[in-house]
Structure 1
């Protein structure tokens, strides 16, 4: 398939699933954590406050499957594993960082709007 053949507005398009995966909270935060360079699992977990080890494992596996992250296991005792963004994964950093910046810069307005909406009985 050529790039022109992918249209997320069509239900059968595989780009829909990819957009769903990329748009997940944990994906956004894990990619952001890895933007500065390779990290060990425990370091990603520490950077992404609140993520369970199960969710982190699932997120990293999905990113690895989509070739956005590489997993490197070093032959050491104890074993050492690092995760790093691929070239394609690094291309994802700027759009996700823009989304993150938009969310944080508009959060006060959004919270105020939610409060107004929730206070209106209609």
Structure 2
């Protein structure tokens, strides 16, 4: 099964074929390289946002069977200061990704809307 993971390469560790898409606004190419080195496997990587039509179109050309969508902004304080930015990325980005999935006949989705830990 070929998996698209927006926002991270975590499935490499369980032996899946992974395509990652991330705009790297909260990460870096170095972190991606370290993850690949740690697990001894590489992934196909698209640098871009799940909101960007060009990145979505290129990503789905590789035969994706399922999507795990982690690419959301999650800073609670910042979300209150910049609600339009969070809406565009988290809501409109998810809708755009699901529309691309539908056009390609991909019907398996895991959507993680938040990874915030409040303590």
Identify whether the pair has TM-score above 0.5, normalized to the shorter chain: no
Q: TM-score range by the shorter chain?
A: under 0.3
Greater length-normalized contact order (CA 8 Å, ≥ 6 residues apart)? 2
Greater helix proportion: 1
TM-score by length of 2: 0.26
Larger-Rg structure: 1
Higher strand share: 2
